Amino acid sequence: MQPAERERVEHLLAEMGRLNDQLSVVHRATVRELALTRHQLSTQQNIVDLIAVDHSPQAAIALAQYLLDHGQLDQEQRDLAERVQRSGDELAALSAELIERVRRH
């Protein structure tokens, strides 16, 4: 092999190595993104399943919190979800107070 050809081959091998490294970075990022998406879809499905089976205030509160954290809400929807969340917090506080009073007696 001529020196010029050898230099060209070495250059191509180095370039292939660099491209392989870049491809590995992109692949790892894609795998992470897919795992995150899978987790988000699983979380969404868990909340939907909870509400379909459990019509309790806790299910509504969980949905409101999820929507506030992950939903693309307009202002009216955000206000309603925040109202549900505040009501849930108040319900939890009242429940805790009631349990505490029962325990004292």
Q: Is the pLDDT of residue 83 over 80?
A: yes
The answer to whether 59 and 50 have CB atoms below 8 angstroms apart is yes
Which pLDDT band holds residue 93 (cuts at 50, 70, 90)? confident
**For the chain, which residues make up each domain, given as ranges?**
1-53, 55-105
Place of tokens 């009631």: 98
Give residue 44's pLDDT: 66
**Residue-level pLDDT at 51:** 62
Please give the average per-residue pLDDT across 50-79, as a whole number. Answer: 78
Identify the DSSP state of 56.
S
Residue range 57-79: average pLDDT?
83
Q: Which pTM value belongs to this model?
A: 0.46
Residue 55 has pLDDT above 80, yes or no: no
No. of helices (H) and no. of strands (E), the chain: 3, 0
